[in-house]
Structure 1
Amino acid sequence: MEVTFWGTRGSIPVSGPKYAEFGGNTPCLQIALESTTDTVILDSGSGIRELGIRLVQTRAAHSRVIHLFLTHAHWDHIQGFPFFPPAFMPDFRLHIYCTKDARTILDRQMSTPFFPVGLDVMGSTKLFHHLLPQEVTTIAEATLRHIPLPHPQESTAFRVDERGKSVVFATDTEHAPDHINETLRDLAEGADVLIYDAQYTSEEYSAGKQGWGHSTFAEAVKLARAAHVGKLVLYSHDPTHDDEMLRKIEAAAQEHFPSTVAARDGMKLTL
C-alpha cells in the first residue's frame, strides 16, 4: 500500500514562496493498493486536479476505476472535483462514497451561477454510494471502515486495511477538552499510519478556536500514543501556517512522538 499526499492544507488553498515546502493544496489523498490497480482517493480538495492529470497520463497502468471517499461537504474538501479530468472522460468509472448525499452535494457546487457546466456534462460513469453506519466497503482485498467525527455538520474518519497494513484518515475533527475520542482511538488501534487534523497550535485553539471543528498537534500525539500507531502524520495545515511555522510544529510533536511527520504536498508513504 502506498499513500500519496496531493493536498494537505485546511480551509483554503495558499500559494507563494512561504509555502513551497509543505504546499498549499486542500485535502486529497491517493491510496495505491497492492491487490488491485483501481485507485482509491480520499477527499477532492484542490489537490485532486493534479492527481487527475497524473491518472490520465498513466491511464495504461491502472484499471481506470476510481473509488472516491468524501469525508464531508465543506468547500475545501470538494472544491477540486469540478477540475478532476477523469470525471469528464467516458473510459473512467467513478465510485463516489459518502455518509451524505454526494450526488446532490457535487451537483450543487457545479450549478448556476457557481460553475459554467453541470455534473451532467461529465462523461465518466459515476456511481454514488451512501455509506451507512458501521458499513464496511471492500475493494479487492482491502476493507474500508468509517466512523463519524465531531465537526460542524459532521465529518468522517476512514480506516483502510489491506494485507496486514493499515492507514487511518481523521480530518476534520475537534478533540474533547478532557478526554480523547475513544471511538477514533478504537478505529486507529494498531494502525501503521494515523493522519490526523492538527490545524491549530494549542495556543491558537485556546485563544478562540474552540468549536471551529479542528484539533492540535498536542492532541494528535495523545491519540497516536493511546492507539499505539506506528507513524503520526499531522494534517489539515492552517492557511496562516507557513513553512517555518510548520517545521516548528513538526519538531515540537517529534519531541513527544518521534515517529511524526507534518504532511507535505507530494509526500509518499509506503506501508
Structure 2
Amino acid sequence: MDKKNLAALLSAVANGDTTPEDAAQAILQEPFRRTMNARTPETDAAPTNVDPSVCLDGHRALRTGMGEVVFGQGKNREQLVSAVAGLDVPGRPVLVTRLDEDDGEYLLERFPGGEFWPKARLFISSPPLGVAEGLAGPFAAGKSSWPADGEIVVVTAGSSDIPVALEAVGTLRFLGYEPGLVSDVGVAGIHRLEPHLPALSAARLLVVIAGMEGALPSVLAGLVSAPLIAVPTSVGYGASFGGLSALLAMLNACAPGVAVVNIDNGFGAAALAARLLAI
C-alpha cells in the first residue's frame, strides 16, 4: 500500500463505497501479508507454489517513500515468485535485484510483462508509472550507449565496474530518474575525465564507482560541488581484498562531501540518491 492506494481507500469510505470496518481491516492486513494470500497476474488466484516463509512489508512505501525491493540472491524460485506476486499491484511494479540469468528468465516466463537486465542482474515486474515518455523501458535492454549527463550521473573508474554501475542506473530508472552514465575515466588515465567535467559539475548528485585503490571519488569530490555517493567494487588484484581496500580508501577520502555505501552496492547508492533528491 502506498499513499495513492490509502487515499483511494479513504475516499471509498467517505463516499460510502466501503465501510470503516472493512477499510480498517484492509489496513490492518496490509503491512505484513504472507504470500499465501498473493495473486498471480495470469489467473488472479492464489499461486500453487507460494512459500509461507516469505513475509512481505506492504507499508514500506508509506513509511519511507520507496516500496519493498526483493533481494533475489539465495532465494529459490518459489520464494521469488511468491514475493513478486505478493507485492505486485497495478501501477506499483516490483524490483528484484541480484538475479542470475536462469532465475531472471524464469521470472520473465511467470510475469511476461516484466523486464530482465542480465548485466545488472535486475528484474522488474511491469513498467513503472512516472517513467519519462520515450524511454525504452526502465532497463532499456540492449541499449549500447547512455547519455553522459543528467540530474544524477553515475561514473565508473573502469569498464570492469560497469555491472555495478548498471545496477545503480537500472534502479534509478525504476525510481523514475534518467541518470547519465560516464564510464572508464579512472585515475590510471585521468585525462579521460576532463571532457565530462561540465556535465558532472552541472549534476545535482554523483554516484562514483571504483575498484582497485578506489581513488576516483576523492578526485571528483575535489572538482565538483555536487554531493557524491561512492561505491567500492570488488574489482582488483589479490591485495584489494575483494573491494575492502577501495572501501577503506573511500572512507578516508581527503575531499569532504563523500558518502560511502557497501562493496558492489549499486542498488543502495541509487536508493540513497533518490531519497536525497526527494527531500
The TM tier, using the shorter chain, reads: 0.3 to 0.5
| Bigger CA radius of gyration | 2
More relative contact order in 1 or in 2 (CA 8 Å, sep 6+)? Answer: 1
TM-score w.r.t. structure 1 length? 0.40
TM-score by length of 2: 0.39
